[in-house]
Amino acid sequence: LLGLVATGIFRGAWHIVSSFARTYHFRNSIKNNGKEENVSIHEKKYKVVLLKNHNKEAFTFGFFSPCIVLSGRVWQECKKEEREALLKHELYHMKHRDPLRFFMLDILRMTFFYLPLLGYFVKRYHALQELRADEAAGNTEHLGNVLLYMLSQKVSSNVPQASFASLLDLRIARLRGQDIRDHWRVPFFRLLFSTGFLVVFSAFFLWKPNAEAKTACVASKICPTPSQGYTPAVYYFKSDL
């Protein structure tokens, strides 16, 4: 059990270091591979970084200063109304600092990897934030067109982010009015395994081996007492006290 805990701490620490390193490297790379555009959303100006690549990419990244990033291909191929729906979706992530929230939850998920139920709740929170961002996008028709457009694109960047291309099947099903309640069901085996592990883990740290010795001492009226140094224990009768 202690080995699992130590492994989890190492995994969490490694995720923190590697994520900050990837974010720092990506932020420097977009200075050469992207350009900033001022985009008006809700009558306010926001900076959007346009990448010079041919991938279908749209995401928000950055822990403390989140930024919206789009590929030039998405910017050119999507209509104005579709771009606006996409930007409103990403703006929701930026205002709620979802990249930082997702990052912190991923640290918990990786640190406590031996609790699979925690991973389920992390994914559920991620899905809820994506659905809320879709609601903030407004027009469902334009949003649906962008979702279908991004359907063939997987999340390509390994930088911690809130990607528009995540959970596309779930979000499209919701826009179509389909029943998505099955997605929220708690996995039984994850629940069973996590509960069992917590019981064993608690018993391991809360069980006191001296409790049985004290019980035997009271029953037999013979109790051990430690002597000085490393000499054997000296026994005495309670009646001699």
Angle in degrees, CA 174, 180, 186, rounded to 5: 145
Query: Contact, 133 vs 89, CB < 8 A?
Result: yes
**Single-letter amino acid code for the residue at 127:** A
- Residue 241: what pLDDT? 46
Q: What is the pLDDT of residues 80-127, one digit of tens each?
A: 888 888 888 989 999 899 999 999 999 999 998 888 888 888 888 888
What pTM value is reported for the model? 0.72
Average pLDDT (23-41) is 78
Cβ density class 112-128: b for 16+ within 10 Å, e for less: bebbbbbbbebeeebbe
